[in-house]
Each structure stands twice: as structure tokens, then as C-alpha cells.
Structure 1
Amino acid sequence: MIDDPTHSGANASGPLSNLRVIDMSTVLAGPNCARYLGDFGADVIKLERPDGDSLRNMAWRDPRDGTGLWWKLVNRNKRTVVLDLKNEADRSVFLGLVDDADVLVENSRPGTMERLGLGPDELLTRRPSLVMTRVSGFGQTGPYAQRPGFATIAEAMSGFASLNGEPDGAPLLPPIALTDEVTGLAAAFATMVALHHVTATGVGQVVDANLLETMFHLMGPLASLFALTGEQQPRLGSGLPYTVPRGTYRCADERWVAISTSSDSVAARVMDLLGVGDDHRFATFDGRTEHRLELEALMTDWCAARDRAEVVATFDAANAAIGPVMDIADISIDPHYAERGAVELVDGTPMQSVIARLSATPGVLRWAGRSLDADGDEIRESGWH
């Protein structure tokens, strides 16, 4: 890591303020990795092609200025520059940035950087302490490495989609950019591990993070289960095979709650609420699982007979696990979200705050995603300084 904490980057502050990051990735997972570093103070330079990152034009736009809301969120706390790496002058600027960089994040299809003469052999020779974080669909090696890397495909091929949906329905994909978000987190974590090694040894390395294996890790012990027993988790809607009752339930006022009984003590309190606390069939995880249909029916009927406020209040009084199913409109007026400051105004745009709270060295949101080449003149002229 660099020694001078006062370099350019709008007077960055935070625990990573001495970190210089080149983000030459596009769309979501790679830029998310760089975003998390920037949120904690890293000086992140977002490198774009002359036509810009396609995320600028994806989905919803801010009605006030027409800027993409995805762009403002994912590329906050980054400076922007346009460089065409096939142009010799721009390539020289890029290599000058590499000479002083701590991290480079890229998500080209494997082999692309090598064809440009900018692969790990070249860049780590030039900058031995560089951490080169490579975010791809399937990893840098393997039979699928050259396939296009999209979150949807990873969600399908990781086992995730096969578990989502009703038992007799189609497998379902998540309706949010789940894979891109968690892969960004995984890549940021791995990058920090590699930087820790740099601090100890001065030696950089390649971080190979990918969408498929990140989602596969979210499957928990299912790979172990199948290898040891041949058993697979069935598709159960909102249910889990080992926790009953568990799911979403409609109340008398047509509003919904989510309920979990993932510990025996909580399950016992829920059984008491349902009036079956003395029924030995429901005294253990195995018993509740064996009598899933009967117990889920009891839970469904109990909620259906009461308004949501009563259901939540009764569970809360019993110290049982429940939460109302909230949409974004509910979240926008929720007192807990408000007190925690979970949404911040950044250049006038509301967006999620930093992902974790550090008591001594908190992250800071300095600006939203900037216009194309907003910092180009400064960066091309003087690099990091």
C-alpha cells in the first residue's frame, strides 16, 4: 500500500484512504467490489471505454438529471476517466496508473487482458505488489471459463434456482441482482486478504473470483449432504426441510408475515401459541419435519384468523421470531431503518449507506457515480497526484 495518505481523491478519508484502486470492470459484480473499497476511503479510479460503461444506461433513471440510478449507486466514491487501451497515449496513461496502484479490478472474459498485453505476467512484473482482482462468470480456468458471465446463468448452474419456487412449480431466479451483489462482496473480501499479504511481504497476486462459485458457496452443506447420502434438498417454496413451520403467511387483513422456528426454544414458544405445546409430535426438529403438512396448516390458519398487527404483537410478546413482509415503501418509513441511517442522501440521491459500521474507522459516502470522464483531464495529466 502507498505511504502518502494525502493524495488526490477529493481528500478521501477512511481506513482505506491510503489505497489506490483501478476499476476497469463493467456493469455490476466487479464495480461492486471496487465500490466497497471506495466506501471505506480507497481512491478508486473508474476507467471506461469511450462509449462508457453500459451500466450508465441500464434500468431506472433519476428523473431530475436522467442519470442511471444503478450507476449512481455502484460507482459512487469513484473518479472517472475515459481511456482507450488500444490507443498508445491512453495505454501509457493506464500503465502509469498501474505503476502506483495497489489494486486493479477487471472483469473481461478470461484471456482478454492477456491478448491486450496486460495480463498478470505483464502487470505483476511491472508492479510486483499489485493485487489483480479478476471477476468472471466461471473463473479463469475450467471448461466453462470462456462462456459469457451473467448472474442469471450462475444462479441457474449453482443449484440456487433449483431450490426456489413452489414444489410443483418452475425453478425461480431471484428478482434482484443477487449474484452480482454477493460476488462483489466476496471479491472485496478476497482483495483485502491479498492486500494483507502485500503488507506482510510486499508481494502481489491474482484474485480469481467468479459468479458461479460465489453462488455455489451459498448452498451451505448441500454438496456435503449429496456426496455423503445422495440426498437433495427439495423445492419447498418458502419452506426449509429442517425447520417447520417456516415461511410466509397471509393474515386476515391480507398482509403477510415471515416466521421462523430455527431453534428448539423458539419452536416451543410457537407451539404454545398454536395450542399444541403439549403434543409430543412437535417437540423436536425431526417430529416437526415429519408432520410438516399438519403443522404448516395450523400456522397458516392461525395467521389467517388475525390481523397482521395482532400476529406480530403476539409473537413479539412470546419472544418468537417474526417479521412483517416489507416492501421498499414500508422500508422508507420504518423507524429502525431511519435510526440506523440505512439510507443516505448522496449528492441528493437516496441510496443504501455503507454495508457495515466500523466504530473507529467508519466508511464515508463522498459522491454518487459521476459523469463520463468527469476527472479525465486531471488523471491523464497527473495520474494519481
Structure 2
Amino acid sequence: MIRFDANAAGPLDGIRVIDLSRLVAGNMLSLQLADFGADVIKIEPPQGDPLREWRDDGHSLYWKTYGRNKRSVMLNLREAPHMAALKALLQTADVFIENFRPGTLEEMGLAPATLLEANPDLIIVRISGFGQTGPYAQFPGFGTIVEGMSGFAYRTGFPDREPILPPLALADMIAGVYGASATVTALFARFRGKARGQVIDLSLLEPMYSVLGPEAAIYQVTGKVKQRSGSASNTASPRNVYRCSDGQYVALSGSTPQVAKRIFEVIGKPEMNDDPRFATNSDRVRHRDLVDAAVGEWFARHPHDEA
């Protein structure tokens, strides 16, 4: 059994992170660093991070999740002594995270050039909806907008129904993970002597495009926009969510020839392995309605635990 030692030093032990962000993206980013041992100091306004008010049955579980392994400091940055305290902290920091509207940091007297002059090794992560520059820089950039604009919502759901937004802060969480990767890369470059301080311009939009994989390339090359397909896949068959006889569901994927062959045998349809309509994965995808009908019929006759 693996034993968990809460006091064990992580690989980022000794790295100080000042997190001035609010809500999910920045907190997700600093959470990754905190979980790997970084000393994350969360700067909160007097009323606290708005994430504290996201509650379930009165419990601030979002904050408990995203705020774990961090220290919190209350600063009212409208007051000169508190701003001075922040600047002093930044001189001791390795990483600084913020997610204000582009230009706000400069208005506060915390322009990257100023911060890097005081601390040349500081890595500054700037999170926004659409980046610090460009035609959309000043547009509101909440995760919901990005989930729609990226095409993610359009690709999610069933073809005869409306696009579906994810029921969680997906764009923010993905941006946070991408931002953590970029931050660790910048730290690694600094440790190798390849660079000193850097500015990471992290938008919410670009990571969402990235996780969509080749969708943009498919359109550029073929001129076709991928449509919603429910839980079915355009790249593998059988692949779907199937209803069992007791009303519960099973998610199944046969994305390799060997797995698909075994599935057809288990459902009592070994002849499908010799049918040219199902000979290859591409063939099975083209005839996925027939595949789903056969697989779905088997699940409909078996309870969840048996399936």
C-alpha cells in the first residue's frame, strides 16, 4: 500500500508562487504547482476570492478543492501599505499569476517590465480570455464564451438537439493545466540557464482549441465541419453509452481491431467479424448505426453488474 506523507518535499519545493488571480483558471494553475510542493501564497481581497461563494448545500467545496495546499493573505490593493506588501512579496517570488483584464496590471503600476526590473528571474503568468494583444483582447473572456467560441459546445450533444455547454468550468480548468505546464517549462529553462524571467500570455481560448485536436485542420483540408454525434465517435466503433436492462448505463469503446473482435464475440455476433461492412475500423465507423444496434441490443438484455 502506498503511504501518503503530507510533509514530504515535492519537486517544486522552494518555489514561491504569488497568486493574485480569482475564480478557476488561475487557482487551477497554482493548484498544480502547490500539489507538487510549491509555496503558493494566495492574495485575496478583503471579501475573499469569489470562488469561496460557490457552494453546495452551504459548503464551499470549490474553494476547498482549488485552494488546497496554499496560504492565503488578505490585501486591499487600493491601500498603499498593502500594495507595498505585494511588491515586497513579488521581489521574493519565482512565479506571479494574475487574471485581470489586459492592461489592468499596468494601471496598477505592476507592468511586467517594472516587475522584471525589480526581480529579473520572475515568471509572470497573465491569464485572460483572448490574450493580452489582438482584436479580442479587451472582450470579456469567461469560460462559457470560450467553450462556445472554440467550437467545443457545437461538437457536444446530439445532431437533432442544441449544442451542449460542459456542466463545469472546463475552459478554465484546461487553461490552468496548460498554464502550469508552461510555468514549469519556464522554470526549467531558468534553472538550465537558458532564460531568466519570462511573461507567459495565457488565453482561455487557445487551450480549448488545442484539446479539440485536429478539428480546425480537418476543416481547413476537407472544408467540412464535424457535426454532433452524441456519445458515438467519428474515429472508433463500437463506441457509445449503452443502456442496460436495469436502466443503468455502460460506456464502451472498441477502438482497436482486437477489442472490437472480442466485443462481437461476447455479444454473440461472431459473424460480424467476417462481414466486410465491419472488417476495419473505418468500415465500422461508416456502419456504426448497425454496430450500435447489435451491441445495444445485447446490453438491453443484461443488467449492469452482469454486463
TM-score normalised by structure 2 residue count: 0.93
RMSD: 1.6
Counterpart in the other structure of 1:206: 199
Counterpart in the other structure of 1:190: 182
Task: State the Cα distance separating 1:272 from its structure 2 match.
Answer: 2.4
Quote the Cα distance in structure 2 between the aligned partners of 1:286 and 1:45: 51
Quote the Cα distance in structure 2 between the aligned partners of 1:212 and 1:196: 25
Q: Does 1:245 align with 2:241?
A: no
Q: Does 1:170 align with 2:166?
A: no
In terms of mean alpha carbon deviation, does 262-271 or 157-166 score higher? 262-271
Quote the Cα distance in structure 1 between the aligned partners of 2:59 and 2:242: 39
In structure 1, the gaps of 5 or more residues are 1-9, 312-385
Q: Does 1:19 align with 2:15?
A: yes
Task: State the Cα distance separating 1:39 from its structure 2 match.
Answer: 1.1
Q: Does 1:227 align with 2:220?
A: yes
| 2:283 counterpart (270, 287, 294) | 287
8 Å contact kept, 1:131–1:205: yes
| 1:143 counterpart (135, 154, 162) | 135
Counterpart in the other structure of 1:36: 32
Q: Does 1:103 align with 2:99?
A: no
In structure 2, give the amino acid aligned to 1:228.
V
| 2:112 counterpart (103, 120, 137) | 120
Counterpart in the other structure of 2:41: 45
Deviations 1:247-281 (A, max 9, x none): 10001111100011111221122222341222221
In terms of mean alpha carbon deviation, does 277-286 or 37-46 score higher? 277-286
Quote the Cα distance in structure 2 between the aligned partners of 1:290 and 1:21: 51
In terms of mean alpha carbon deviation, does 178-187 or 153-162 score higher? 178-187
What percent identity do the matched residue pairs reach?
A: 46
Quote the Cα distance in structure 2 between the aligned partners of 1:36 and 1:70: 15
1:140 is paired with a residue whose SS is: coil
Task: State the Cα distance separating 1:35 from its structure 2 match.
Answer: 1.1
Quote the Cα distance in structure 1 between the aligned partners of 2:7 and 2:119: 25
2:23 is paired with a residue whose SS is: coil
8 Å contact kept, 1:34–1:188: yes
Quote the Cα distance in structure 2 between the aligned partners of 1:186 and 1:162: 22
| 2:263 counterpart (244, 265, 270) | 270
Tell which has more relative contact order, 1 or 2 (C-alpha 8 A, sep 6+).
1
Deviations 1:180-230 (A, max 9, x none): 222111111100011111112351101111211111101111111111111
Counterpart in the other structure of 1:319: none
Task: State the Cα distance separating 1:232 from its structure 2 match.
Answer: 2.2
TM-score normalised by structure 1 residue count: 0.75
1:215 is paired with a residue whose SS is: helix
In structure 2, give the amino acid aligned to 1:255.
Q
Counterpart in the other structure of 1:379: none
